[in-house]
Amino acid sequence: MDILLALSRFVDRINEVIGKSVSWLILASVLISAGNAVIRKTFDISSNAWLEVQWYLYGTVFLLAAAYTLQKNEHVRIDFISNMLTKRTRDWVDLICHIVFLLPFTFLITYLAVPWVLKSMNSGEISANAGGLILWPAKIMVLIGFTLLTLQGFSEIIKRWAVIIGRIDDPMETHINPPSVEEMLAGMPREQGK
**pLDDT for the residue numbered 31:** 92
Tell me: pLDDT of 20 over 90: yes
* The model's pTM: 0.79
Residue type, 132: G
Query: How sure is the predictor about 181, in pLDDT bands with cuts at 50, 70 and 90?
Result: low
How do residues 37-68 score in pLDDT, each as one tens digit? Answer: 898 888 888 778 888 888 899 999 999 999 99
In angstroms, the CA 25 to CA 165 distance is: 40
Cα(53)–Cα(144) distance, rounded to whole angstroms? 18
Over residues 150-168, the pLDDT tens digits come to 999 999 999 999 988 888 8
In whole numbers, what is the pLDDT of the chain averaged over residues? 86
Would you say residue 193 has pLDDT above 50?
no
